[in-house]
Amino acid sequence: MSEAVSEPAVSRGKTARAALRLLREPLGAFALVLVVGVIAAAVFADVLASADPSKIAPRDRFMAPGMEHLLGTDQLGRDLFSRVLFGGRIALTVALGSTGVSLLIGVALGLVAGYGPRWLDNLLILLFDAIKSFPTVMLALAFVTLFGPSLTAVVVVVVIVNVPGYARIIRTQTIALKSAEFVTAAQSMGAGTARILRVHILPNVIGPILILASMDIPVVIAIEAGMSFLGLGVRPPTPSWGAILNDGFANIRETVWIVFAGGMPIILTTLGFTFLGEALRDIFDPRLKAR
């Protein structure tokens, strides 16, 4: 009983120490503030928004930032601050949701490839290589042609693109661990394959992949924004950072505030998640920091 109680306590202690180390690092603290701020703005968009993001007001078109419209208005008189907030909700929903699904599928396939028979490993590697050989833009165009522009198409493209990378990393680490002494001991005691993968191998390989996933989130946000910019993502009038950027470039001679409103959130979110991933990597692998 004492062991069962002490293990969660040790885990909580490690998590608390990691959080303290993250806050002590200037880069980590800065990244955490950015990430928390972006997530909070998206979650509480209904409360923070000063207007309906889709409400058209032709008389207020191309207004400069002010007290009534913090980031100004676009070519249809829509409040840019509200559109940025709700666009962040779309971006984070796509990024976190698709990254989570990619992790689940990639980890499962990587464990199976690394621990399974050789023929299954070769088959999955061939599948991973085949998927990675297709450019992201071509996959996006294919899905949009088949199913039309939608948020679902963006999520499916991101999942297909990210799964092979996660699966390959998990596979490599699984192959390195399946001949370890603690795995051999578990096999000799009659532990099944599912238990060995879940209890002995997965906890030892999931850490690095979670750090990699946090650094992939801005990449996913860029993919969503790029597809929306090209008209392949969410459909108007749904607010999206990519769609705001598209409006800004189309009306760049009238005002620069639309481009600023669409580009600045992407930059801040990219910096936040990238720096957070770097800080977490330094915390959980001090050898990289020493180098």
Is 144:152 a contact under the CB 8 Å cutoff?
Answer: no
CATH superfamily of 18-290: MetI-like (1.10.3720.10)
Distance, CA of 195 to CA of 69 (rounded, Å): 57
Q: What are residue 79's phi and psi, to 5 degrees?
A: -70, 120
pLDDT of residue 6: 41
Check whether 255 has a pLDDT greater than 50. yes
Interval 127-144: pLDDT, tens:
888 888 877 777 777 877
- What pLDDT is recorded for position 199? 77
Could you give the CA distance from residue 182 to residue 275 in angstroms, rounded to a whole number? 35
3-state class (DSSP) for residue 11: helix
What confidence category does residue 84 fall into, taking pLDDT thresholds of 50, 70 and 90? Answer: very high
**Average pLDDT for the chain:** 81
- CA–CA distances in Å: residue 147 to residues 142, 225, 228: 9, 19, 15
Closest C-alpha among 226, 185, 186 to residue 95: 226
Q: In whole angstroms, give the CA distance from residue 7 to residue 11.
A: 6
**Per-residue pLDDT tens digits for 89-135:** 989 888 888 899 999 999 999 988 888 888 888 898 888 888 888 77
Neighbours of 70 (CB within 10 A): 15
**DSSP 8-state symbol, 44:** T
- How many helices and strands in the chain, by DSSP H and E? 13, 0
Asked if pLDDT for residue 10 goes beyond 60, the answer is: no
Reported as a pLDDT band with limits 50, 70 and 90, residue 5 is very low
Residue with tokens 């297909």: 160
Average pLDDT for residues 72-83, to the nearest whole number? 90
Other C-beta atoms closer than 10 Å to the C-beta of 260 total: 17
Instruction: Specify the residue for token string 């968009």.
Output: 45
Which of 32-53 are b and which e, b meaning 16 or more Cβ less than 10 Å from the residue's Cβ?
A: bebbeebbebbeebeeebebeb
Alpha-carbon torsion (17, 19, 24, 25), positive or negative: positive
228-238 pLDDT, tens digit per residue, is 888 777 777 88
pLDDT band at 218 (very low <50, low <70, confident <90, very high): confident
Give 79's strand partners: 73
Which pTM does this prediction carry? 0.78
